[in-house]
Structure 1
Amino acid sequence: MLNISALMGRLTADPELRRTPNGVSVTTFTIAVERTYTPQGQEKQADFIDIVAWRNTAEFVCKYFSKGRMIALNGSIQTRLYEDKEGHKRKAFEVMADNVFFCGDKAPAQASADISREAAPAFAQGQSDDFAVCDDNADLPF
């Protein structure tokens, strides 16, 4: 069986670190993941995916990530049964994060917008004698 999820998105709120009665660190948070396909004439759509992180991963997320920050992670999808306030049985789908990674800009949003407006660096133009002509008809050496 195979159950692997790889996601990249933005946190919808600041994660909060909690502890189980046994002292194990845990955090739950939601990330907004944009869909790759946007129907013509419509705005981009996103899926909001619930994530659970345990122990050191939970502490890492709570220490270094905040609302709006881009995050990449991999883990597995798990389901959980529960009863809502009216007594109806419900099923929740969550991704259990195994590994969490930084992605996106380190700088605040305004600083990164200013950087993107700067001109790209210029590179020297190559000379025609910098390249050799290859004979396409010759035998390949491998």
Structure 2
Amino acid sequence: MNKVILMGRLTRDPEVRYASGDNLAIARYTLAVDRRFRRDGEAAADFINCVTFGRAAEFAEKYLRQGTKIAVSGRIQTGSYTNRDGHKVYTTEIVVEEQEFAEGKNAGSGSSHPQPAPETDPDGFMNIPEGIEEEMPF
């Protein structure tokens, strides 16, 4: 099985091109994904190349910007080519099948009107407001 799930921030705006003939959109971007474990207290990240096609690429062009935190799922694709100097170059990228925002629109923007935190009990659980008649999903 070849399945990848990543969450990170775009290092730059997506680069979008359209394939000639069928007008298929192709978007490429790089995700900076934080490493869970840090060496000597320093933050570390991996920079992972991603590519997506069609409507997902059009979505990336319209909505994704540098610094946006997104979650993607897809598959790893490897390849190789020979460069101008005659050296073989190996490539690895994620072919994105699904992408979605991983934080709210105003997160990290430092807005001057922070949202109030929901009321919680001393045990850390949020209070359920009175008048909710729906059944719990579990």
**Does the pair score TM above 0.5?**
yes
Matched residue SS, 2:60: helix
Map of 1:89 onto structure 2? 88
Give the CA deviation at 1:85. 3.0
Give the CA deviation at 1:27. 0.9
Map of 1:49 onto structure 2? 48
Trace 1:42-121 onto structure 2 (pairs within 5 A).
Answer: 42-107=41-106, 109-111=109-111, 115=114, 120-121=117-118
More helix by percentage:
1
Map of 1:31 onto structure 2? 31
TM-score, reference length from structure 1: 0.76
Counterpart of 2:102 in structure 1: which amino acid? C
Between the aligned residues of both structures, percent identity stands at 35
Counterpart of 2:35 in structure 1: which amino acid? R
Give the CA deviation at 1:72. 0.6
CA RMSD of aligned residues (A): 2.0
Higher Rg? 1
Unaligned runs of 5+ in 1: 126-142
Q: Counterparts of 1:51 and 1:85 in 2: how far apart (Å)? A: 24
Unaligned runs of 5+ in 2: 123-138
